[in-house]
Amino acid sequence: MKKILITIDTSRASGRKFLAGVERYCSNYSDWQVLVNPPAYINSPKSAYSSAVGVKDFDGLLIYDPSRLSEFLGSRVPKVILDTQIEYAKGESTIVVSSFEVGRTAADYFIGKGFQNFAYCGFSELPWSGKRFEGFCKTLASNGISEDKIGLKDFQQCHFFPEEIRQTAEWLKGLPRPLGIFTCNDDRAVYILEACKIAGLEVPEEAAVLGVDNDELVCRLSSPSLSSIELNFENAGFKAAGHLEELTEGRSKTKVIEITPVEIIERQSTDVFAIKNPCIQKAMIYIRQNFKKAITVQDVAEQCCVSRRTIERLFRKHLNKSVKHEIRKLRIELIKKKLLYTDLPVSRIAEDLEFCEPDHLSRYFKKAAGETPANFRKNNKQFS
């Protein structure tokens, strides 16, 4: 029986989801004896526990502990490192968040809601925060919005001080509205919600706020409740455990495992459309209420009492995309959710979404997602 040491922060949902993925792998495919590191007050550098537990006592390591990273890197024990600063773990198997893709997802989301004014709030000294800003900016740039039009509030340390909140509130007051604010994670988003209250900004009407990680307790306890980008930590935990098993048996070389965005969980903090054109607003509401059906551009036009040509022109003018694109985006997101979180066969999903046949759904999905529904499910499914 292999002995595996797991050191990871479980104070946030991301760490607990990662552990859930590891547990599912262990339950189904291995007979590991697992030791999960205890809380910091027990596992401090000076504690008897910390000195008693040596890396050499284990057959494999799953690591996210910056304070002991040099010790782990110096060990020859097979390991997988959860590290968003991959340059510090070269030559080792590493789990990294696709932070550029996170930023792209946020930008696409705000653009889809019709925002023209944007801001980002992150941490200047953390590389993953910079990558999220880069993905955000480049996606906005591809839609005609230059980086100098994006408000940026970067902090040099991960602490929240009262004076800092007041300064952030003053910064928010000076930005154009309605404003789409992307934050590097949920903790920073909660901070921004507080700053909005001090600044007298209505959320989401004047400032819509989006976080990352979807820590459900944090998001639901926020006021208003916080929208957030869900990352596939559970799938990463499952894959990391499987890869560690291969490493301990000499069946695999080191590799990078990516944690990708799954979807945006929309709550009150972004529940708004920034477009004031009444026809566009009516069309967007109709599409969101009916995209599960096989609606067409003509259906949307008739609902708005305008011609198909007029509705297409308005979408191009205000959203820089077609009506068909908006319908397709929502249908693809729903298909992905059903593939990831249910065991429904493709034929049933096709029936639920009023595709004429499963092959039609498969072609539709592959054209948008770049892979078949079966491959997407295989590569990304939250294992259960």
Residues 86, 249: contact at Cβ < 8 Å?
Answer: no
3-state secondary structure of 274: coil
pLDDT in tens, 166-205: 999 999 999 999 999 999 999 999 999 999 999 999 999 8
Tell whether the model's pLDDT for residue 53 goes beyond 70.
no
Lowest mean pLDDT among 37-41, 163-167, 353-357, 375-379: 37-41
Beta-sheet strand order (sheet of 256-259):
33-36, 3-7, 60-63, 79-82, 93-97, 256-259
CA distances from 37 to 1, 100, 105 (A): 19, 30, 33
pLDDT in tens, 71-116: 777 788 899 988 655 555 667 888 888 999 999 999 999 998 889 8
pLDDT in tens, 212-236: 999 999 999 999 999 999 998 988 9
Rounded Cα distance between 325 and 70, Å, is 48
| CA 161 remoteness from chain centre | 26
The closest of 57, 124, 113 to 272, measured between CA atoms, is 113
Peptide bond into 39 cis (omega under 30): no
- Phi and psi angles of residue 166, each rounded to the nearest 5 degrees, phi first: -65, -40
Six-digit token pair at 5? Answer: 């040491």
Residues 295, 133: contact at Cβ < 8 Å?
Answer: no
Rounded Cα distance between 357 and 360, Å, is 5
Residue 39: pLDDT band with limits 50, 70, 90 = low
Q: What residues contact residue 248 under an 8 Å CB cut-off, 6+ apart?
A: 2, 59, 60, 78
pLDDT at 73: 74
Tell whether the model's pLDDT for residue 62 goes beyond 70.
yes
Q: What residues contact residue 8 under an 8 Å CB cut-off, 6+ apart?
A: 15, 18, 19, 36, 37, 62, 63, 64, 65, 82
CA distances from 383 to 18, 19, 238, 351 (A): 12, 12, 7, 24
Peptide bond into 204 cis (omega under 30): yes
82 pairs with which residues across the strands? Answer: 95
Six-digit token pair at 174? Answer: 């000076």
pLDDT in tens, 323-377: 999 999 889 989 988 998 788 999 999 999 999 999 999 999 999 999 999 999 8
Helices (H) and strands (E) in the chain, counts: 16, 12
- Phi and psi angles of residue 56, each rounded to the nearest 5 degrees, phi first: -65, -15
pLDDT in tens, 235-258: 899 999 999 999 998 888 888 888
**Average pLDDT value over all residues in the chain:** 87
pLDDT at 9: 82
Domains and CATH numbers, the chain: 3-97+233-261 (3.40.50.2300), 99-231+264-270 (3.40.50.2300), 278-380 (1.10.10.60)
Q: What residues contact residue 262 under an 8 Å CB cut-off, 6+ apart?
A: 230, 231, 232, 336, 340, 380
**How many C-beta neighbours within 10 Å does residue 56 have?**
7
Residues 376, 336: contact at Cβ < 8 Å?
Answer: yes
The proportion of the chain whose per-residue pLDDT surpasses 70, expressed as a percent, equals 89
